[in-house]
């Protein structure tokens, strides 16, 4: 666990993303209700070793894996594929198909999240 409350909050949300689905940095930030997409990216970068956070399920708004992801975005795509996610020919994911709908309302309330309705996925 991190010693940064905000990071732990972010990690808690990411842990809710089911296998076979993905969420964007901005979406996670909106669910937490604090910070910005950059903050989420920074939190992922700061993940301690031995964590149980499915970081590979967090991607950018274009449906692509982050270029700066630990040197190998290739591995990230492999993991996602093994979870059932399908990549298009340009190596992007169709968020309307694999985008996560967010945690249910009970979870949001139980975890002190101030999420907005659900404008994601147009």
Partner DNA sequence: CTTTTGACGCGTA
Partner DNA sequence: CTACGCGCCAAAA
Residues that bind DNA (CB under 7 A): 4, 6-7, 24-27, 34-42, 44-47, 55-56, 60-62, 65-70, 76, 90
By residue count, the chain amounts to 122
Nearest to DNA of 106, 122 (CB atom): 122
Nearest to DNA of 21, 106 (CB atom): 21
- Least distance to DNA from the beta carbon of 49, Å? 11
- Least distance to DNA from the beta carbon of 84, Å? 19
2: left (phi over 0), alpha (psi -120 to 50) or beta: beta
Distance CA 31, CA 48 (A): 22
Nearest to DNA of 35, 103 (CB atom): 35
**By the 8 A CB rule, do 44 and 30 touch?**
no
């Amino acid at each position: 666990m991190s010693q940064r409350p905000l990071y732990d909050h972010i990690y808690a949300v990411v842990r809710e993303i089911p296998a076979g689905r993905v969420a964007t940095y901005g979406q996670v930030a909106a669910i937490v209700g604090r910070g910005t997409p950059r903050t989420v990216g920074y939190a992922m970068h700061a993940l301690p070793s031995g964590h149980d956070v499915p970081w590979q399920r967090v991607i950018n708004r274009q449906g692509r894996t982050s270029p700066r992801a630990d040197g190998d975005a290739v591995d990230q795509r492999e993991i996602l594929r093994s979870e059932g996610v399908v990549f298009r020919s340009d190596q992007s994911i169709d968020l309307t198909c694999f985008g996560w709908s967010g945690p249910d309302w009970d979870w949001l309330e139980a975890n002190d999240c101030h999420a907005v309705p659900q404008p994601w996925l147009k």
